Structure formats: structure tokens, C-alpha cells
Amino acid sequence: MVKLKKSKFYISVFILAHCLAGCNPTIKLGKQPQAVAPYVKLKDGKIIHAKEVGELEDFGGNRIVADDETYARTKVAEYSNGEQLFVNLRKGAFGPKIAEGKINVYSASNSAKYGYPMPDLAHLYIQKSGSSRLYYLSYHALKPMISDDFSAAGRELKAFRSTRLVCRLVLWGGFACFIAGAIKIGNSVESNGSDASTNQGLSTMVVGMGCMAVAPFPLYLNKFRLRRAIAKQNGVYASRDEE
């Protein structure tokens, strides 16, 4: 049982160290988006140029305003306020474009238009350059945008996938240990077994609970590898970040 506990400890340390190596929430994801003149693009393709464009929030509902004309948010595909481009990410919720390159990046947070710094941990949406389709940032959405498995970005995705696999194995292994330990304790109590048998089942449950408690944290940290993959694909990954 001591060997089991040591193995759990070493596996946990390995996974955590591997994920921390890929964790950098403040990494630059791409080039700074260029400002474009104010305009509103409707979902039907119509483009309205204006001197001033912004969002209006009042009792009449949230709307996009272009000079004196107002448009329902759900009918607007994107708009520029002259400083940043905002895209309709979902059902009238707009997010600013925060990076561009081979992969464009949008933030689900709209704090930028209020002058607040962009949250490092904001949910992101990605878009392949030249395409109008947006995807929530995930491994499956990013993989088709990085076709070269041997590139720096491709290797980052491989590291993400392998770490995710190990974390999931630890998580499910912990769950199996917990169930096995509970069954062993139940059988021992039912058959009036020895204390040693009950203690062994309890130890197995503790090991399982430890694995289940440890695995989710590295799984979360592993997501930062997706950001690194974007940065490398866009050619803006600073060499100092490799240190």
C-alpha cells in the first residue's frame, strides 16, 4: 500500500509539472488587430458605414447604434467602433477581436470596450484566417487549423493530447480504486472480516479519492497549451517564454 501511495504521488507531481510547463495565461496570441473605420455589418450581408458606432443599453433593450440608426443586436453580425472590431459570438453577445494572424482570436468578455484590461482567463473563440466561421476554443476546433503535426504548434497540440490522456487515466483509475475500496469494505463488514481487510479497503478508497482530487487541476492547466499552440501558429511566441 505504501508503494501505491508513492506511485500516486510521483504520477501527480509529473502531471502537475508537465502542465505548469505549458501554463502561461498572459501569452501574446497574435498580432494586434488593426483599427478599421466605424461600420455595422448585418447578418444579411448589408454593410452600413457611419461616423460613430456603439452599443446602446437602455430599457428598450440592447441595440447597436450607427449614427442615428439603431439595429437589434441579434440582426448584427459584426461592427467596428473605429478602435476595435466586435463580432456576434452567440445570440447578440459581442466579443472583441484581440489577436489576428493565421488564427484570429476573439474574447467572450466585452470588458475591452469599457476600457478594462482583457481578462487573462477569458473564454476565447477562434477563427481561421479567411473564414467567417467562429469556434469556441477547444482541441477539436483548433486541430484542423494546425495541419502540420511536426510544427511547433503541432507539437504543442500533441503535448496537450498526451497530458489529457494521462490525466483522464488517473481520474478514471482513481474512480475505479474508490469503488473497489468501497466494495471491499462492504464485503468485509458483511462477512465480519478482519480489520486488516477493512483497512486495506479504506486505503484503496483514499488512494482513489486522491487521484480524483489531483487530476482535475492539471487538466485545467493543460488548456493553456492551446493558447501556446495559437501563439506559435501565428508566429508571435516570444523566445523568452520557452525559458
Whether residue 209 sits in one domain with residue 141: no
In a domain, 32, yes or no: no
In a domain, 31, yes or no: no
Enter the C-alpha cell of residue 12.
501527480
Please report whether residue 200 resides in a domain: yes
73 & 163 share domain: no
Give me the half-sphere count of Cα atoms (radius 13 Å) on the Cβ side of residue 193.
16
Residue type for position 192: N
The pTM is what? 0.72
Claim to verify: residue 13 and residue 69 sit in the same structural domain:
no
Both 45 and 63 in one domain: the answer is yes
Within a domain: 69? yes
Of 93, 123, 145, the domain-final residue = 145
Question: pLDDT, tens digit, for every residue of 154-163?
Answer: 999 999 998 8
pLDDT in tens, 67-97: 888 898 889 999 999 988 999 988 778 888 9
Domain count, the chain: 2
Show which of 145, 180, 212 is a domain's final residue.
Answer: 145
pLDDT (0 to 100) of residue 171: 86
**DSSP helix/strand/coil, 122:** coil
Longest dimension (CA), the chain: 83
Task: Give residue 146's pLDDT.
Answer: 93
Q: Are residues 136 and 78 in the same domain?
A: yes
Tell whether 65 and 49 lie within a shared domain: yes
Residue 10 has pLDDT above 60, yes or no: no
**196, 110: one domain:** no
223 lies in some domain: yes
Check whether residue 20 and residue 77 sit in a common domain.
no
Between β-strands 85-90 and 93-99, what pairing exists: parallel, antiparallel or unpaired?
Answer: antiparallel
Q: At which residue does the C-alpha cell 467567417 appear?
A: 132
- Residues 138, 67 share a domain: yes
Question: Which of 94, 124, 145 lies at the terminal end of a domain, its last residue?
Answer: 145
Residues 135 and 173 in one domain: no
Domain of residue 84: give its range: 39-145
For residues 103 and 17, membership in a common domain is answered with: no
Question: pLDDT at residue 15 above 90?
Answer: no
Residue 34 lies in a domain: no
Q: Is 72 strand, coil or helix?
A: strand
